[in-house]
Amino acid sequence: MNWAQLLIGLTLLGAATVYVITRNPNADGHLEHYAFQKFKRNFGVTYKNQGEESYRLSVFLENLKSIEANNANPLSTHVEEVNSFTDLTEEEFAARYLMKDLPQQMNKDLPILEMETLAAPQVIDWTAKNVLPPVKNQQQCGSCWAFSTAGMLEGVYNIHESPQTPISFSEQQLVDCCGAQGFGCEGCNGAWPTDAVAYTQKFGIVQESQYAYTAKDGSCKTALQGTGYKPSAQFQVAATDAALQAALQVQPISICVDASKWSSYSKGIFSNCSAKPSAADHAVLLVGLNADNTWKVRNSWGTSWGQSGYITLAAGNTCGLENYAIYATY
């Protein structure tokens, strides 16, 4: 090698070194920008102007940082991912998808369910028994209480009637009519499932095909009231592992939980709830007990969220799931 070749080689090496040193910070920015563009493409997201897009990018990056921190934490038992909620702040997510004006206390006058507890917990998964319709999507309406109620009643009805295709009940009827008939429900702002069940005991609940979901508050179609299924009674399940496990052997159970930190959940066993065990801002459906005593819960945020619409909660009273458990009878 002559001196000219050596000089050229050192010059190229120096240039490459400078490129690597000055390129790395920008590489992260390019990756983040790519992740945001992929998010918009995957979920069909558009923004009205550049200012809004810039703001949503900043929110997205903050959430992405939190997702990556959770997934890098060796103590975390669940995995998080980018999903349709990743460009929302925590406050925006709560306002759009959780219940806002939930009364301070569920109806505590309900009788406690009397049921013989099990000698040992038994695995159960109601999603494998053809008694529930596919996972639904409440969209940007705090109507989770209606989906939790309808889901429980679907389970009760389909278990007893055994139709070839599981019957799907109307959440929109509950959204429109439960409050209008004086049962204390607040439509897209929230309600206790107990109030919704009480409404159905008097007025019944029709099938979804008769009263389609619109994801917004509407006027009650009173002509349909009284024509649907009416549960005979409802009970509160005692707030213990044994009582809830026993009740779950019979049918799916409506529960209210603290879901304030659920937005980015993907898979695994979730236990990262808020510090307030009595908090309840979301109603869901308890559908299974796993061999490790973790709970299988059906959500109403569509199948693109979580485990195809489901979340696994850690054993015990995780996210307050035992505090507001409701059991309706056929």
Residues involved in catalysis: 144, 282, 299
Say how far residue 80 (Cα) sits from the centre of its chain.
Answer: 14
CA distance 209 to 186: 23
Question: CB of 69 within 8 A of CB of 61?
Answer: no
CA distance 187 to 146: 9
In this structure, what token pair is assigned to residue 37?
A: 């563009």
Place of tokens 């995780």: 318
Neighbour count for residue 196 (Cβ, 10 Å): 34
Neighbour count for residue 269 (Cβ, 10 Å): 17
How far is residue 217 from each of residues 8, 141, 189, measured CA to CA in Å? 73, 9, 9
Q: Which helix (DSSP H) or strand (DSSP E) does residue 64 occupy?
A: helix 50-72
CA distance 120 to 141: 39
Helix locations, 211-325, DSSP H: 241-248
Q: Which amino acid is at 227?
A: T
How far is residue 83 from each of residues 52, 61, 80, 273, measured CA to CA in Å? 19, 13, 9, 19
CA distance 233 to 9: 85
CA distance 279 to 289: 23
